[in-house]
Chain A
């Protein structure tokens, strides 16, 4: 199935320039507590594209996002992670946010004593991502919080402690709300649909679609996305450019996101191992060799 996918064949934008080639995971080996979870994993998400990662439980999907975000419990023991041509290794979480990364957590921790409103005020007073420049005036901060909170139906959550007693849907809405306020360039979403009912899924799905500029012409998209999904519901809202299957600590298949998902749905993850080699990994391998 993967060999027929249109993403692999589109040449119109040509090879991305090395200085601006989006997210590149280059033969990265990631370990948690001295245990290798992902081994020599390669992945390329060109600038402006959104890719989806499927995989069975325990495949290392969340570890991959945590490693990209710079969570200290994930160690990059080999390889490299680059964003827009520059290695992210050696940068802490805050520095990666400053470079445009933002992540919606699957199970974020409750932070006692800090309301969602206070956290979003801190985000906006920091210009969303910590970049230099005068923060917006307080009235504008409140207006932006209110507008987006209303759109994502989190007004009722604003004065509650972050994630404390939030339901599944509330947690996901809150996460997308915060990430949207961060004005990110690379959005990492860890199972944004898990634990979400149908009504909330619609609201979250539309917001993610907007956040990732999926209604823009491909050449005009400036936000890059990487979404981990177990159920695949997010594909009903996000026309992802590519889907990858992560299993046994590596990408075992890549192709059109919906095709990949349907294949998994029909045949299970085991069948993915029979697919042709991932062309993205091939392209990276060829570049390294040259």
Chain B
């Protein structure tokens, strides 16, 4: 077992699986934050116009941050937000200064190293006016840390005409519980684009990030690609509340169960004129033991809004498999191609290892169950 404080090659390899490359050249990563167990290890910005530091340090440095802190996700929202504040371990503070165009992602890793650890972090991300801020966050656990818990509070503040592109990749272990609590506040003409990927077995994840579009013509998009192997329980959702005119919301999710349970929630609330929202939830059941529940919600509180949703849950259509087999693919290759295609939401910047993860996922599926239902 590596000692806390030392980033061993093993840890680095695990980090790579969630898109965090500590050996990356500054031309590939604009900044880096690493948090191991209960302490921050590394925080640095490689480019001008970018700040990366531990949240405690940032709270010491910026008085105004203390007023902002806890306004998107109230500290007393639930037992997990309270637990994080009672014994805060740290978290990342990432800020793009006004007008800064960060062209390559800032990377952050929240790493659970020790068996039984309850990690409590609070992250604050600010994209100041007119800035562009891409971030890739990998949350993962060491292979030796089978049991544990991750509590992660994340608050996003997207100022006027700014954009945050946020990718979060989870890769946990079988006895780890995960409780992210996340919210974004998006000002006029701002855009918050969030992608979430979780393909490995985990005991349970429960999260429901929400974006509030408080300025006119703001945009929020949540995309998620999720797999639930046997004994995984994922209760996931995304919500967008359009509070100002002309807001746009899009929520897309792709869910695959190879034996686990997924609850895929989504909610768009349109409260202002010209709001547009679309919600799409698709699920693929690859085992008779699995379960996928799709719960889309649309709320219109203004006559001039357009909201729509699509939800489809089922197994792979045999007709599609046969069609690809007629093009020379074996049955297994056809299923693999369909699942890869199903999970491909066009998220850029994902580590190549995730493709292999999808292959191993397919290998775990109950193909006999699928073949028996022609």
Contact = CB atoms under 8 A, between A and B. Distances in A.
A122 interface: yes
Q: Which of A69, A92, A93, A182 has the most CB of B within 10 A?
A: A93
A153 B322 CA distance: 26
Nearest to A129: B328
Contact of B323 (A111, A118, A182): A111
Interface in A89-122: 92-94, 97-98, 102-103, 105, 108-109, 111-114, 118-119, 122
B331 interface: yes
A112 B254 CA distance: 12
Interface string B240-267: 0000000000000000000000000000
Size category, B interface: 20 to 34
A128 interface: yes
Contacts of A224: none
B369 interface: no
A209 B360 CA distance: 44
Contacts of A128: 328
B307 interface: no
A112 B343 CA distance: 10
A112 B252 CA distance: 14
Q: B interface, by DSSP: helix, strand, loop or mixed? A: helix
B341 A112 contact: yes
Nearest to B317: A109
B181 to A, nearest CB: 31
A72 B342 CA distance: 24
A94 B374 contact: no
Given A72-B322, A73-B374, A109-B317, A123 B338 contact: no
B11 interface: no
A118 B340 CA distance: 11
B337 A72 contact: no
A178 B331 CA distance: 18
Given A72-B374, A73-B374, A94-B331, A113 B341 contact: yes
B324 interface: yes
B324 A119 contact: yes
B326 interface: yes
Nearest to A107: B319
A71 interface: yes
Contacts of A130: 328-330
A105 to B, nearest CB: 7
Given A113-B341, A118-B341, A182 B322 contact: no
A123 B327 contact: yes
A190 B319 CA distance: 16
Interface residues of A, number: 30
Contacts of A114: 324, 337-338, 340-341
A28 B186 CA distance: 67
Nearest to A120: B327
Contacts of B324: 111, 114, 119, 122
B33 to A, nearest CB: 33
B325 interface: yes
Contacts of A182: 327-328
Given A111-B324, A114-B337, A182-B328, 7 more contacts: A109-B319, A109-B320, A109-B323, A111-B341, A118-B341, A119-B324, A122-B329
Interface of B: 317-320, 322-331, 333, 337-338, 340-344, 374
Interface of A: 69, 71-73, 92-94, 97-98, 102-103, 105, 108-109, 111-114, 118-119, 122-123, 126-130, 161, 178, 182
27 contacts: A72-B322, A92-B331, A93-B326, A94-B325, A94-B329, A97-B325, A97-B326, A98-B328, A105-B323, A105-B326, A108-B323, A109-B320, A111-B320, A111-B324, A111-B338, A113-B338, A113-B340, A113-B343, A114-B324, A114-B337, A114-B338, A114-B340, A114-B341, A118-B341, A178-B327, A182-B327, A182-B328
Q: What are the 4 closest A-B residue pairs judged by CB atoms, nearest first?
A: A113-B341, A93-B325, A114-B341, A130-B328
